[in-house]
Structure 1
Amino acid sequence: MNLKTRIRAAVLTPAEAQIAGYILDHGEAVMEMKLQDFAAAVHVSRSTVIRLMHALGLSGWKELKVELGQWLRLCQDPGHSVDVNLPFSPEDDSGQIAARLARLYQDTLQEMLEVLDHDQLEAALRILEKADCTYVVTAYHNLSMAANFSDKLLSIGKRIQAATSVQTQDFLCCNARSRDAVVFISYSGTYHPLAELIDKAARQGAKLILITGSDDDRFHDRIHARLRLCGRESRLGRMAQFASDMEVHFLLDILYGSLLNRLQGTGQGDRMARGGQLIKSGVSDYKGTY
């Protein structure tokens, strides 16, 4: 796990996150500093810096500088110079674009593996396994991936509905039951109805899964499983959603693949076959009134 990924995966206070950002932004200068010099540069105590090291899973200042040096060398490697927001330029031909996107996808998948919290993944899978019905709440370009995920879960006999409008999302969150699951997908965490919808679903006692690249922890007391995305793309500065689409698709496929594997392992072939027949006929066994 490289230093930037380690920082993104850690649970940091706002002050710690600001110090970590300074380390990445001023890496060359930090490499020349002693601990007391760095503490003075960021206007905190030595103990605050040491707490940050421990929060990152590092033994101390020396280990941080080792990881920082590795990160700086990685950034200088031409093979790792694909910009997640602008992966290719107007001068690139189709072959160069293909190579750059392949590099971007490889880096994105590797970073997803590094930030994946297996305890949270298991918690999400237990929720989806036990749920009477699963609702997926998202928006914009994530809708197509939510629909794809829903089709896959229907094919193995899981009851699921992807909400495609704010009105549908509001209805489902207000009417979810304690044995239902609601999966919220928001790459940046800025989807404007998100907080209200989470509150409504939580009041109904539904089990909530949040998939996001945001470090915002304001929902921690209502969310039962949180699956982290890399979150490297800039919402305003990106050319397109190349990396973010890959992150969401990969994570949803992990959930689907794990559920499929568990159903096969329990010998529920009849249920999976029935789900496949429902997909082919264009209907599900969902008996809700909406």
Structure 2
Amino acid sequence: MLFIDRLQHAENLSDNEQRIAEYIEKNLALVPEMAIQKLAAATYTSHSAIVRFAKKLNYNGYRTMRFAITEAVQQKNAQLHNVDANFPFKPADSPMEIAKNISDLTTNTIQRTFAQLNEKDLEAAATCIRKAQRIFLFAIGDSQIRARSFQNKLIKINKFSIIAEEYADEIWAAANIGKDDLAIFLSYTGNGEKRCKIMQFLSKRHIPTLLLTGNPQSKFIPYVSQSIVIIQTEYDTLKIGTFSSQVSFEYLLNTLFAVVYSQSYQHNVARLKTNYVSMIKDGILKDNI
């Protein structure tokens, strides 16, 4: 999770910690150059208060927090035109202005997603996908479109996945998932009683599960084997469209597919060539062009 996101999602801050948080947010570019004593003086707190604040944000201490703040400043400076993810264009914008805003929003979203990725989590998730006998994709609405795209890619490497919620069969799908399978949940908000019950059901049966979400406080997280949380500046409801969240999901799923592919790269390339030759020889590829 990025520093700014940790700051915005911090809970149960004391008065001193709230003052530290407000100062850092207002003076983000200055803090990387400040020693802990200087920050304590600027916030009318103490050395120990700064350390406690850093640990509340899940950093080991001030040094690691300051490093994260430095990264946040660099990322902010590298951003393109700042675009509101919920209302990325105005009524008076020209078609080319709208196109530029959508371009910047898409680029910023991918950069923001990349900055939050963790190599260990990516490797673990890809390994689960590769080893799974069957893959069940739980996704509805716009997220199901992303799931279908992922499903289409998996076919290319002989991985046949199932859209578990396609015909409202998610309960039966969950009942038939085995320990050699993998259930992947796509939920930006990370909420929903029915989904939560399904995850609890799978957790009790020790079924491998992977959650992709944009909510670090999602009540789903305790019930899944692994979660990848990617936070965007998109609201749950008040917005023109799901621009940012779906770009993020698409990029994340494409990345996972690429990592899965790379784990058995030579085998997958050999299969690709064999299938391609067979399709050309038997004429079925030409018919589908």
Shorter-normalised TM range: 0.7 to 0.9
Asked if 1:5 is matched to 2:2, the reply is: yes
Measured on the aligned residues, the alpha-carbon RMSD in Å equals 3.9
Q: Equivalent residues in 2 for 1:241-256 (5 A)?
A: 241-256=242-257
Match of 1:188 in 2: 189
CA contact (8 A) 1:135 1:160 kept: yes
CA gap 1:149/1:90 in 2 versus in 1, 3 angstroms = same
Q: How many residues are paired up?
A: 269
Match of 2:35 in 1: none
CA contact (8 A) 1:263 1:269 kept: no
Higher relative contact order (Cα pairs below 8 Å, separated by 6+ residues): 1
1:67-116 per-position Cα deviation (integer Å, ceiling 9, x unaligned): 78x489759x8x53211111111111110111111111111111111001
CA gap 1:173/1:270 in 2 versus in 1, 3 angstroms = same
CA contact (8 A) 1:120 1:227 kept: yes
TM-score, with length taken from structure 1: 0.76
SS of 1:176 mapped into structure 2: coil
Q: Equivalent residues in 2 for 1:151-162 (5 A)?
A: 151-162=152-163
TM-score, with length taken from structure 2: 0.76
Asked if 1:207 is matched to 2:208, the reply is: yes
Q: Which amino acid aligns with 1:97?
A: I
CA gap 1:125/1:64 in 2 versus in 1, 3 angstroms = closer
CA contact (8 A) 1:156 1:273 kept: no
Distance 1:257 1:24 in 2: 40
Match of 1:89 in 2: 90
Structure 1 stretch 217-226 or stretch 130-139: which is displaced more? 217-226
Q: How far is the alpha carbon of 1:201 from its aligned partner?
A: 1.7
Match of 1:35 in 2: 40
Q: Equivalent residues in 2 for 1:73-152 (5 A)?
A: 74=77, 79-152=80-153
CA contact (8 A) 1:39 1:45 kept: no
Moved beyond 4 Å, runs of 4+: 16-22, 29-34, 44-47, 60-68, 71-75, 217-221, 271-277
Q: How far is the alpha carbon of 1:65 from its aligned partner?
A: 7.4
CA contact (8 A) 1:231 1:244 kept: yes
CA contact (8 A) 1:123 1:224 kept: no
* Structure 1: gaps (5+ residues): 282-290
CA gap 1:200/1:25 in 2 versus in 1, 3 angstroms = farther
1:213-239 per-position Cα deviation (integer Å, ceiling 9, x unaligned): 111264444322212222320012221
Match of 1:287 in 2: none
CA contact (8 A) 2:3 2:68 kept: no
- For 1:15, which of 12, 28, 31 is the aligned residue? 12
Q: Which amino acid aligns with 2:160?
A: R
Distance 2:124 2:66 in 1: 35
CA gap 1:37/1:57 in 2 versus in 1, 3 angstroms = closer
1:133-171 per-position Cα deviation (integer Å, ceiling 9, x unaligned): 000001111111111111211221012101234741111
Q: Which amino acid aligns with 1:55?
A: Y
Q: How far is the alpha carbon of 1:28 from its aligned partner?
A: 2.9
1:9-36 per-position Cα deviation (integer Å, ceiling 9, x unaligned): 69x8633699689836983378799426
SS of 2:141 mapped into structure 1: coil
Distance 2:196 2:75 in 1: 37
* Structure 2: gaps (5+ residues): 32-37
SS of 2:63 mapped into structure 1: coil
Q: Which amino acid aligns with 2:119?
A: H
- For 1:51, which of 52, 55, 61 is the aligned residue? 55
SS of 1:266 mapped into structure 2: helix
CA contact (8 A) 2:138 2:184 kept: yes
